[in-house]
Homo-oligomer: A and B are copies of this chain.
Amino acid sequence: MALMLDDALLSSILDEVRPLARLGKVADYIPALAEVAGDKLGIAVCTVDGDCFAAGDAHERFSIQSVSKVLSLVLAMGRYDEAEIWQRVGKDPSGQPFNSLVQLELEQGKPRNPFINAGALVICDMLQTRLSAPRQRMLEWVRQLSGVEDISYDTRVARSEFEHAARNAAIAWLMKSFGNFHNDVTTVLQNYFHYCALKMSCAELAKTFLFLARQGRAPHLAEPVISPLQTRQVNALMATSGMYENAGEFAWRVGMPGKSGVGGGIVAVVPHEMSIAVWSPALDNAGNSLAGVAALEILAQKIGRSVY
């Protein structure tokens, strides 16, 4: 029998997974991420009925990192025709680490999907082409989606990422060599790192991504964010490519479309029912939050939800 969803349930799940946080490793390639306390742990759920539940550090903001790749994709889906996007980036799992150039070279500069670094950089390149102020636009839009006015970039993180940009610069230049990158590399990298440096809490993330559980509609916005069909498509992409190399393992254990970031955040969606955000900075080998994945797995079992 599935349990009732409430704050107490979320809290008990956090208690169960807390020991795992000690086994993972906080991302340390930039100081601003390395100094985050490894024992932070939070979770928030928003249902399509309008309820929101939270536990732990659900209201503390952190660097959402690659979770922003979903946001930039959805932003691009509103600015480009479907064919324009998918001729420049694929829809399939890569089977490779998120920042590898091997496949990108073999496949002539077309990234496998928009949720690996190469793919997200192409999307940012497209946004740079069509938006007059891509960073400002993203910020306004995320504030709108979340309903929170003071969401902002952690400029220290963005600057720090840019100082460690070598691998992403290599990816961008490699795509440029194949004609699949049109704008100035430095400019687009700056945008990309700012998107990664969005600071949001679990509660804000769950609210922001609720439209993916509501066929593309945010409850407080008159206009749909994307169409129902596009919503299914984004969820499908998250399900097959949202967890770096571990999409299959995550589907197996959790059974929900999800997207993780190296800041330790994961957003997951139960279509027609709820959006979930979890945060624990210690990562597993694939770069996903160790306690975060476990929390989602237990939640899925306790409330009896899986898309499969």
When chains A and B are docked, how far (Å) is the Cα of A241 from the Cα of B215? 25
Contacts of A166 in B (CB 8 A): 173-174, 176-177, 181
- Which B residues touch A183, using CB under 8 A? none
Give 7 pairs: A residue, B residue, CB < 8 Å, sorted on A: A95-B112, A102-B105, A170-B170, A239-B239, A239-B240, A271-B306, A271-B307
Give the number of chain A interface residues (Cβ < 8 Å). Answer: 49
Closest approach, in angstroms, between the C-beta of A67 and any C-beta of chain B? 18
Give the chain B neighbours of A96 by CB distance below 8 A: 95
Does B306 contact A246, Cβ atoms closer than 8 Å? no
Q: Does A103 contact B (CB under 8 A)?
A: yes
Report the minimal beta-carbon distance from A108 to chain B, rounded to whole angstroms.
12
Cβ of A100 under 8 Å from chain B = yes
Instruction: Judge if A91 is at the interface, Cβ distance under 8 Å.
Output: yes
A232 within 8 A of B: yes
Q: How far is the CB of A109 from chain B (nearest CB, A)?
A: 10
Kindly identify, within residues 176 to 204 of chain A, every residue whose CB is under 8 Å from any CB belonging to chain B: 176-177, 181, 185
Q: Is A106 located at the chain interface by the 8 A CB criterion?
A: yes
Known pairs A92-B247, A240-B251, A307-B307 / 7 extra A-B pairs, C-beta < 8 Å: A92-B95, A100-B105, A101-B170, A239-B239, A239-B251, A241-B248, A271-B308
* 0/1 interface trace, chain A 103-125, chain B, CB 8 Å (1 if under): 10110000011000000000000
Known A92-B249, A237-B248, A271-B307; judge A177-B170 contact (CB<8 A).
yes
A102 to B101, CA, bound (A): 7
Q: B112 to A105, Cβ gap below 8 A?
A: no
CB pair A308 B246 closer than 8 Å: no
A239 CA to B271 CA, complexed, in Å: 16
What B residues does A241 contact at CB under 8 A?
248
Give A101 Cβ to nearest chain B Cβ, in Å: 5
Contact of A307 among B172, B233, B308 (CB under 8 A): B308
Going nearest first, the 3 A-B pairs with the smallest beta carbon separation are A95-B95, A93-B93, A166-B177
- A257 contacts chain B at the CB level, 8 A cutoff: yes
Which residue of B171, B232, B306 contacts A306 across the interface (Cβ within 8 Å)? B232
A99, chain B: closest CB distance, angstroms? 9
| A106, A241, A252 interface centre (most CB from chain B within 10 Å) | A252
Q: Could you tell me the distance between the alpha carbons of A14 and B271 in the complex, rounded to whole angstroms?
A: 29
Q: Report the Cα distance A176→B167, complex, angstroms.
A: 8
